[in-house]
């Protein structure tokens, strides 16, 4: 399942994040790369323990937790602290797959990366290239969203960032461990949740059909969730 979520951050929030990030000190992106990624990666990254990364990361997590569509789609058990990368002219990131396990820097505990997310922080007309390309069974999906928009996709996907040929692309990226490990099951639960909300709007939340479907949704979640 791939899902685009618009306006995770407001325009004012994006402007604040960019002001903080643009004033920070960036380092070579390979400082945090695994072996495979290091062979393909050419960008800049903000150190994870930088004050700017912590400030903007906290704002992003708060916005995600308040976004009903993100919560319904990801069913997050844990959101790893957001990281930040920047691509200038000539920079890109070749084909790679994200690591299956990452450690939470605050606890040291291992977390499974079920979902990858990229939150765009630069408007698309400010740079050329820099598209996120995600491969799946249906082909290549090219993503370049307005600032404040987020793309959510299975972390098992092969993906890349095409070289930037003009301007600078700044984004946040992070991973989610979901309560429901299986992507197909998460997709079914999202479809059901959206349908229940639409039906509830049409006939009322206490309609017997709404109550029955809501019960089925929670029984499926109870069956599939790992807590």
Give the start-to-end residue ranges of the domains of the chain.
3-178, 183-224
Please give the mean pLDDT across all residues of the chain: 95
- Return the pLDDT at 39: 66
Q: Give the mean pLDDT of 94-109.
A: 94
Q: Give the mean pLDDT of 107-118.
A: 96
- Return the pLDDT at 196: 97
Q: Give the mean pLDDT of 40-50.
A: 94
Select the more confidently predicted residue: 44 or 38: 44
- Return the pLDDT at 30: 78
- Return the pLDDT at 38: 60
Q: Give the mean pLDDT of 144-152.
A: 98
Q: Give the mean pLDDT of 203-224.
A: 97
One DSSP character per residue, the chain reads --EEETTSS-HHHHHHHHHHHHTSPPEEGGGG--HHHHHHEE-EE--TTSHHHHHHHHHHHHHHHT-HHHHHHH-EEEEPPPEEEEE-TT-EEEEE---SEEE-TTT--EEE--EEEEEE-S-GGG-EE--EEEEETTEEEEE-PPTT-EEEEETTSEEEEPPEEES-EEEEEEEEEESS--HHHHHHHHHHHHHHHHHHHHH-TTSHHHHHHHHHHHHHHHHH---
**Length of the chain, in residues:** 227
- Return the pLDDT at 29: 87
Query: How would residue 72 be classed by pLDDT, with cut points 50, 70 and 90?
Result: very high
Each as own residue / partner, the long-range contacts of residues 17-25 (CB below 8 Å, 24 or more positions apart, any chain) are 17/56, 17/59, 17/60, 17/121, 18/121, 18/122, 18/170, 20/52, 20/55, 20/56, 21/46, 21/52, 21/56, 21/84, 21/121, 21/170, 22/170, 23/52, 24/50, 24/51, 24/52, 24/53, 25/50
pLDDT at residue 32 greater than cutoff 60: no
Fold topology of 3-178: Jelly Rolls (2.60.120)
The reported pTM is 0.94
């Amino acid at each position: 399942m791939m899902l685009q979520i618009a306006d995770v951050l407001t325009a004012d929030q994006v402007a604040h994040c960019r002001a903080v990030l643009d004033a920070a000190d960036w380092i070579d992106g390979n400082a945090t790369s695994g072996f495979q990624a290091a062979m393909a990666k050419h960008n800049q990254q903000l150190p994870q323990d930088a004050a700017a990364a912590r400030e903007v990361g906290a704002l992003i997590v708060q916005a995600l937790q308040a976004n009903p569509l993100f919560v319904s789609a990801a069913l997050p058990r844990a959101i790893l602290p957001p990281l930040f990368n920047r691509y200038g002219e000539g920079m890109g990131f070749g084909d790679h797959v994200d690591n299956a396990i990452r450690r939470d820097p605050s606890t040291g505990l291992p977390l499974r990366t079920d979902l990858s997310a990229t939150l765009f922080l630069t408007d698309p007309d400010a740079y050329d290239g820099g598209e996120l390309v995600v491969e799946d069974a249906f082909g290549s999906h090219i993503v370049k969203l307005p600032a404040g928009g987020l793309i959510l996709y299975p972390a098992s996907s092969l993906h890349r960032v095409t070289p930037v040929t003009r301007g600078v692309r700044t984004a946040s990226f992070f991973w989610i461990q979901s309560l429901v490990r299986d992507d197909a099951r998460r997709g079914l639960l999202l479809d059901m949740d959206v349908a229940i909300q639409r039906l509830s709007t049409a006939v009322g939340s206490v309609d017997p059909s709404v109550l029955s479907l809501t019960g089925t949704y929670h029984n499926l979640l109870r069956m599939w969730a790992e807590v």
